[in-house]
Chain A
Amino acid sequence: MSRVQVVRPAGAGHETLYVLLVSLLILAVAAGIVALRGERLDEVSIEAHQLDARRDLNAAEQGVYADLRVAFDEIQARREEEPQLLAVEVLAEEGFPPFVLDASSASRGQHQWQLLQERAYLGLSQANAVAGSFLLLVPEALDGAADVWLQRSPSAAVPADFSQAALIAAGWQQIAAHYDAGVTRQHRH
């Protein structure tokens, strides 16, 4: 009995094929594990009455919003010494944007700020095409977070009630900021 053995060329494809198959297998296993065990964390949807601070505000509104958050920190710090909220005039005198009247406030809609019932600051926009009107709700707690609302219609008025439902009914929209995904990964829907 005789056996014929054909010497196969080295590196003539079959080794490459095996390596390719193994790498495909590794890819398939990895993809399977990711598909089975992966969870999506970046799918935080905002609610209908909310605006995304990053995507839904124009440039002027973003500036006012950022300034409001900084001023809010100062307001909260002052409350530790004195429970009264700082008056708008005091904030303007100390030069806190957006309360101070200067060139940037003029270009951002020239909001007229007022303190409401010792718990909210209302800034009514004088140029609704540039920026909407802002409402900053100061929480009861000293370490609470700022709650900022926006209304773009020119009919924005002093709200009678600061409850969420009442504000929504009056046409206000809450500005929601969440830091789930990088700006580079955003895609407009």
Chain B
Amino acid sequence: MTVAQPLLNRACGPDIAFAEVDLTLGRTRILDKVSFNVAAGSVHALVGPNGGGKSSLIKTLLGQMPHQGQLTLTWPGDEQIIGYVPQALEFDRGLPMTVDDFMAAMCQRRPAFLGLSRKVAPAIDAALQRVGMLDKRKRRMGALSGGERQRVLLAQGLIPAPQLLVLDEPMSALDEAGIQVFERLLHDWRAAGTTVLWIEHDLQAVARLADRVTGLSRRVLFDAPPTQALTPERLLSLFSIHPRSESTA
């Protein structure tokens, strides 16, 4: 990896450190002493069973949960932009909102019904181009397929160019073409030194695309590069009903 080394050196994304992060909602323990690091400029995948606390961890990172413990982001520069791509967008399918309207609502301060602002229009054009949705920008959001809608959500995460990208199962709704788009984007982010925290169920994609992978089921079960982490025993224990952490295994 002679090429990757100089690229990592000019990482512009933050380094994220979770230290003993606990999260209890009501009487349910959702996160239990979660400690791991996300290296600056890396693509870090988060895998685990449903209800394992992956989405809650991301909400905690975005400052929306009453967690305990220390959670720090170390930013290399002044720019501190976090892009977030949710798992799905809930809205009325009959809503007369076009792709352009949605992008305008997400990316500019000017009300969307007044049209795209001249300042962000080139960025929106470029983002839609990157996800291959430029020719469908006048379509209603409700009329798009799930994969196309997911691509629009990806496009909105690109504006403004983020230093940290948080992706909540971006590939689950994507179609074949969308997955190629996503892999290209992931490659671009890695090249730009953007830190990517990525929740994923497709373990093969994780093995192929991530730099490091953390198995989360209420607590951290493993945290290693994909080739070491994604072994059958570890995965069986991760997705079992009574997950055991490495230390107790």
Q: A residues engaging B (CB < 8 A)?
A: 1-12
Contacts and interface: CB of A to CB of B under 8 A. Distances in A.
A3 B72 contact: no
B60 A7 contact: yes
Given A1-B77, A4-B72, A9 B61 contact: no
24 contacts: A1-B77, A2-B75, A3-B74, A3-B75, A3-B78, A4-B74, A4-B75, A5-B72, A5-B74, A5-B75, A5-B80, A6-B71, A6-B73, A7-B60, A7-B61, A7-B62, A7-B63, A7-B71, A7-B72, A9-B63, A9-B65, A9-B66, A10-B64, A11-B66
Contacts, number: 45
B70 interface: yes
A9 B80 contact: no
Contacts of B68: 9
Contacts of B63: 7-10
A2 B76 contact: yes
Nearest to B40: A2
B67 interface: yes
Contact of B67 (A4, A5, A9): A9
Contacts of A2: 74-77
A12 B72 contact: no
Contacts of B60: 7
Interface residues of B, number: 20
A3 B71 CA distance: 14
A11 B71 CA distance: 16
A8 B14 CA distance: 17
Contacts of B75: 2-5
B76 to A, nearest CB: 5
A85 B78 CA distance: 99
A162 B114 CA distance: 86
A5 B62 CA distance: 12
Contacts of A12: 66
A36 to B, nearest CB: 41
Nearest to A3: B75
B77 to A, nearest CB: 7
A66 B188 CA distance: 96
Interface string B165-180: 0000000000000000
Interface centre among A9, A10, A11 (most CB of B within 10 A): A9
A7 B68 CA distance: 10
A1 B14 CA distance: 12
A18 to B, nearest CB: 15
Given A2-B76, A5-B75, 10 more contacts: A1-B76, A3-B80, A4-B72, A5-B72, A6-B70, A6-B71, A7-B60, A7-B71, A9-B65, A10-B65
Nearest to A1: B77
B65 A5 contact: no
A5 B195 CA distance: 15
Nearest to B73: A5
B74 A10 contact: no
Given A1-B77, A2-B76, A3-B80, A10 B66 contact: yes
Nearest to B17: A4
A4 B77 CA distance: 10
B78 to A, nearest CB: 8
Contacts of A1: 76-78
A127 B70 CA distance: 87
A6 B76 CA distance: 14
Interface in B24-77: 60-68, 70-77
A42 to B, nearest CB: 49
A4 B70 CA distance: 12
Interface in B70-93: 70-78, 80
Contacts of B67: 9
Contacts of A8: 63
B40 to A, nearest CB: 9
Nearest to A11: B66
A119 to B, nearest CB: 82
Most buried by B among A3, A7, A9, A11: A7
